[in-house]
Structure 1
């Protein structure tokens, strides 16, 4: 990576002597100007403006030695001019003070980071050019923020995949997740473990199509007025294996070690039973019933009847295994599918009464909004959230394959908030870069690097990070290794320092250049709220002001949505408004659009 050749003075800035010298020079110039104006204008008013020197300093020294007389009218002129100068000075000082109050710690480092042409790939012009080339949507892209140094709006295009790492209480919801959802031109799906995302956007998004809230664990107390059959996704043994993997990933604690035999055998058994239930059009809860009866061969008969002979042999082999071995495999599979025992969860994935059925293909085709919610712990619905997310994305892939250019005419936006806790999609790193070319735009939002490592491993996290065209770091992360890598990616600058030396020949100043990190590990860990570092493909890293929904065009509608659905709406809105104290009053990305 090329190293910027930025230079600056010593951290202390101007010395006290130099500052005092400049103050004296400015005062002398102001006084000379006032005297010059008083003499010339006063004599003109008095009608005696003849033979006056044109040089301001000649006028000043002429007054001192008596060669130039001070007119009576000059006093009024000098007072008026002085009042004007004082008013202007007060106005300028007020602006400077306000500007300094709005500046966050570390904003001065933005000078040495990307700006202007350095971030042209993320500019509004570039995003619009991409949207026009794709010829599908009038909206240019998803908002990122405003650069600190040049107040330039940044956006990710409809070909960009995003990745966000920001710790707790950094404003992810208000400044990243909610603005992305509101900016989606077509269908959008979001995962979360909190209600704030749903409350803030559901009524606003209702204008763009039906709103579906998948809430098996009662996070927003949504009643199951619709249902989705996970087995409708299973059409063959491959998709059955994928669905089983979602159950396995969602049921395993982060960092837990897998058993080489029983985990693999349990996964295969679960996949076979899921396929049998799908072929026989049974509810998914029947799968758990089979898992509690290790000698029941009904699933084997179904698989054989539908010509899935090898899968039938696989399940039959487990049933015929020695009792301890069979018990271990069935017990492992039961643990993977344990969320099905929760009656509240089962109500969302089984047919009960006359309720509309969610169809992922129709959702992608017709538009709308899908919120999938779950939380960690016993009884988590995480596996079903992951399965529903994958079903939507794969339906989008199938539609894209049939569309001109092999991509969706209107992009599908997915915001995977709290992905490591809610949507443990194991294959995501291998698919990430592919989705951008299909018109499926995702943003994976994590609280830390290690959180992702628990789900995808170190290699998988590096794949995700590298596959993302736009990476956003929002602060409040204390992982030194990650921050050190990020600091190196941001780069260095040359600091100009000076030393004063005194010798027989007099005093001298020596200047040196010192190579330093633009943002070191400590500065990245303590990044102020309302600031984020953005790394875009083909762009230099830049420092941005995040733009909360309160500064956007949907602010009033979002407040109304929160008021309508959040039991603690007043407190929520008040807390959100407090974030404005950390955001400078600059034009928002939406205003620039």
Structure 2
């Protein structure tokens, strides 16, 4: 409940109190200045008159004529005025430097988690966890820095926050809010072990591939030529299929990845089509055929070869299932086969087929000319795999999901046979644009489990509703609750989600003063007013460069994001961009503009 995060804010001052303090300070400055001028002037002149010790008596004596004004007094007074003016200007400039990057939400940080409230995510504790897990090269997944004393401050101010190497994370950032530069890229370049990254754009690949190439081989799965990569290697999705259970999982990836967002499913034909596809995938795997053979079978409902293969390998019930569809009435059979064809439609793309077969013109898998990607070897390495796909029907999304799941499950199998039931070196999976290119429907059920296995997942979405489209409302809530680290980077206009966030952040009690007049008598009263620390409007208009972090066991806190341009890897990342990004000059110029903006060389929108 929000009451658990309630804070007490500073009291408001009435106009009378403010005027009183202004008067007191003015009198103190004038009297103190006169005292300094008289004493310093007499010291310069070499005279030692009997000057009262009380500054107020000196002022009164000057007025009455009982205290003489020293000859050097005027010069001292001018010097004192100049010094005060210089101090005022200097203080103003320092204040502007310290607060030049303040945004309209920064004042909320003083009511939010800091110090011990967020100690579990600071560098010291993250490093301790990393050492306990055997990782010495990186404390964890970088998140950002807290705001120092509730202000903008310098980029190096505040406490560094990290997700540990046993924390799974979820991020929700709207479009063009900096999720790639501030979260995906820093996480990938800091990872000590193998990395899997998914995206629908090439920017992450261009920025990190050469940095990651120094620690291991870089594999880029690019069936739709997003990064203009040629298929210098291939992966056989059927190598994942070892039994009917994994065949069903692979078919599920095809089913979820081939549907339009929000599309209605038929209660009979969709499950039946998915079961048929699973049976054919298993038959192709058992016979050593390429995955494209599956689609060939789907185009000929009378072909009973898959049944023979399944029975030959003792998958009798699966064979009966496929046989039942083939022998079903024509309309029923046609509907089931047609549904399965739609699910596997990405296999008809010849560009896609080149990535999942050794040679699309041959069916023999025994002599591939290009190296074959093996997920089990990958999880034992420090290599990097980038899987790219566009959104929508007919894309390579099902294969991206299948490849990602194959790697993660291979890591899980390795962890099960490792000391402590976890990977000796953590595997990081940055699932950027997960709702578009990696629709892994079982993800919410598995999320919390992977952290204890040394498999660190970071799911990045553009909105809450994106996750609902893939996993449903219940699944999205499960995914959100299972994440140890939750980061909201702004740019979302979904009021219910923002309202829930606002309640998680909590309230603060502000002391408000009010003045009333009755029969010529003024009365000042004070009341406690409860207000949201960050309301829906604040969260919806979260300025770029700020993010809300909610960690397990920690109070919500407001951070300043740390783009890759501020990291120690910045020179290497710039070099990688220059070598691979076709629009490198513009990309690097944008990076310079961003860092100039963050360091205060450009005016911060507030």
1:546 maps to what in 2? 561
Distance 1:21 1:139, change over 3 A: same
CA contact (8 A) 1:413 1:440 kept: yes
The alpha carbon displacement at 1:360 in A equals 0.9
* Alpha-carbon distance between aligned partners in 1 of 2:265 and 2:392, rounded to the nearest angstrom: 18
5 Å-filtered alignment, 1:160-239, equals 160-239=167-246
Rounded Cα–Cα distance in structure 2 between residues aligned with 1:4 and 1:246: 41
Please tell me whether the aligned partners of residues 192 and 372 of structure 1 are also in contact (alpha carbons under 8 angstroms). Answer: yes
| 1:279 and 1:306 in contact (8 A); partners too | yes
Say if 2:515 is the partner of 1:500: yes
Task: From 355, 361, 369, give the equivalent of 1:348.
Answer: 355
Which residue of 2 is the match for residue 485 of structure 1?
A: 500
Distance apart, 1:379 and its partner CA: 2.7
Partner of 2:36: 37
Instruction: State the alpha-carbon separation in 1 of the partners of residues 195 and 36 from structure 2.
Output: 66
Q: Is the 8 Å Cα contact of residues 104 and 582 (structure 1) preserved in structure 2? A: no
CA shift for structure 1 position 575: 2.3
Distance 2:528 2:26 in 1: 34
**C-alpha displacement at 1:200, in angstroms?**
1.0
- Find runs of 4+ consecutive structure 1 residues off by over 4 angstroms: 13-21
Query: What SS is found at the alignment partner of 1:221?
Result: coil
Query: Given that residues 379 and 427 in structure 2 are in contact (C-alpha distance below 8 angstroms), is that contact kept between their aligned partners in structure 1?
Result: yes
Q: CA deviation at 1:237?
A: 0.9
Indicate the SS of the match to 2:127: helix
- The answer for the alignment partner of 1:418 in structure 2 is 433
User: How many angstroms apart in 2 are the aligned matches of 1:426 and 1:301?
Assistant: 31
CA gap of 1:389–1:5, structure 2 versus 1, over 3 A, is closer
Shift of 1:6: 2.6
- Encode CA deviations 1:347-397: one digit per residue, 9 max, x unaligned: 111003621111111111011111100011343000000000001101110
CA contact (8 A) 1:200 1:561 kept: yes
Q: Which residue is 1:290 aligned to?
A: 297
Q: Verify the 8 A CA contact 2:13 2:513 in the aligned structure 1.
A: no
Post-superposition shift, 1:493?
1.2
Partner secondary structure for residue 49 of structure 1:
coil
So what's the TM-score if we normalise by structure 1? Answer: 0.95
Tell me the distance in 2 between the aligned counterparts of 1:9 and 1:160.
36
Q: Which residue of 2 aligns with 1:366?
A: 381
Is the aligned partner of 1:274 residue 2:289?
Answer: no
Please tell me whether residue 321 in structure 1 is matched to residue 336 in structure 2.
no
Alignment partner of 1:8 is 2:9: yes
Partner of 1:114: 113
Corresponding residue for 2:155? none
- Judged with a 3 Å threshold, the aligned counterparts in structure 2 of structure 1 residues 310 and 137 are, in CA distance, closer, same or farther, namely farther
Match of 2:364 in 1: none
Hey, what does 2:604 align to over in structure 1?
Answer: none
Select 1:332's aligned residue among 312, 315, 339. 339
> Does 498-507 or 548-557 show the bigger shift?
498-507
440-449 vs 26-35, which deviates more? 26-35
* Partner Cα separation in structure 2 for residue 153 and residue 135 of structure 1: 21
Matched residue, 2:444? 429
Q: Give the Cα separation in 2 of the matches to 1:109 and 1:287.
A: 57
1:4 to partner: Cα distance: 4.1
Q: 1:104 to 1:580 in 2, by over 3 A?
A: farther
Equivalent residues, number: 584
Shift of 1:96: 1.7
Q: 1:556 aligns with which of 559, 566, 571?
A: 571
Q: Distance in 1 between matches of 2:449 and 2:435?
A: 20
Query: Partners in 2 of 1:354 and 1:68 — Cα distance?
Result: 104
State how far apart, in whole Å, the 2-side matches of 1:495 and 1:116 are.
22
Which position in structure 2 is the counterpart of 1:590?
Answer: none
Q: Is 1:111–1:149's contact at 8 Å kept on the other side of the alignment?
A: no
Q: How far apart in 2 are the matches of 1:463 and 1:386? A: 20
Matches for 1:525-540 after TM superposition, within 5 Å:
525-540=540-555
1:240 aligned residue (225, 240, 247): 247
Deviation at 1:137, TM superposition (A): 3.5
Instruction: Give 1:85 deviation, angstroms.
Output: 2.2
Question: 1:550-585, CA deviations, whole angstroms, 9 ceiling, x for partnerless residues?
Answer: 111111211111111111112122223333365467
1:216-239 Cα shifts (integer Å, max 9, x gaps): 001111111111111111111111
Secondary structure at 2:425's aligned position in 1? coil
> 3-state SS of the aligned residue for 1:68?
coil
Q: Secondary structure at the match of 1:365?
A: coil
Provide the C-alpha distance between the structure 1 equivalents of 2:33 and 2:511, rounded to a whole number of angstroms. 38
Alpha-carbon distance between aligned partners in 2 of 1:105 and 1:581, rounded to the nearest angstrom:
20
**What SS class does the counterpart of residue 189 from structure 1 fall into?**
strand
- For residues 6 and 460 of structure 2, what CA distance do their matches in structure 1 show? 33
After superposition, the Cα gap between the structure-2 partners of 1:463 and 1:279, relative to the gap in structure 1 and judged at 3 Å, is: same
> Which of 587, 591, 603 pairs up with 1:572?
587
Q: Could you tell me whether the CA contact under 8 Å between 2:134 and 2:425 is conserved in 1? A: no
Deviates more, 1:156-165 or 1:141-150: 141-150
Q: After superposition, what is the alpha-carbon deviation per residue over 1:269-319, rounded to whole angstroms, capped at 9, x for unaligned?
A: 111111111111111111111111111111111111111111111111111
Query: Which one of 241, 249, 260 corresponds to residue 256 of structure 2?
Result: 249
Gaps of 5+ in 1: 586-593
1:522 to 495, 512, 537: 537
Deviates more, 1:70-79 or 1:243-252: 70-79
Q: Is the 8 A contact 1:115 1:149 kept in 2?
A: no
- Distance in 1, matches of 2:464 and 2:380, equals 34
Q: 1:53 offset after TM fit, Å?
A: 2.3
Tell me the CA shift for residue 268 of structure 1: 0.9
Whether the 8 Å CA contact 2:197–2:385 is kept in 1: the answer is yes
Shift of 1:104: 0.8
Whole-Å separation in 2 of the counterparts to 1:337 and 1:393: 23
CA distance in 2, matches of 1:224, 1:21: 77
Deviation of 1:330 (Å): 0.8
Determine if the alignment matches structure 1 residue 453 to structure 2 residue 468. yes
Provide the residue aligned with 1:70 in structure 2.
Answer: 69
Aligned equivalent of 2:457, options 437, 442, 447: 442
Could you tell me how far 1:436 is from its partner in structure 2? 0.4
**Which whole-Å CA distance do the structure 1 matches of 2:438 and 2:518 have between them?**
70
For residues 102-147 of structure 1, the C-alpha deviation after alignment (integer angstroms, 9 at most, x for no partner) is: 1011111111111111111212222122223223334211111111
Rounded to whole Å, the distance in 1 between the matches of 2:317 and 2:325 is 13
CA distance in structure 2 between the partners assigned to 1:280 and 1:5 by the alignment: 64
Q: Which residue of 2 aligns with 1:140?
A: 139
Q: Taking structure 2 as the reference length, what is the TM-score of the superposition?
A: 0.93
Question: Could you say what secondary structure the match of 1:254 adopts?
Answer: coil
Which residue of structure 2 aligns with residue 152 of structure 1? 159
- Alignment RMSD (CA, Å): 1.8
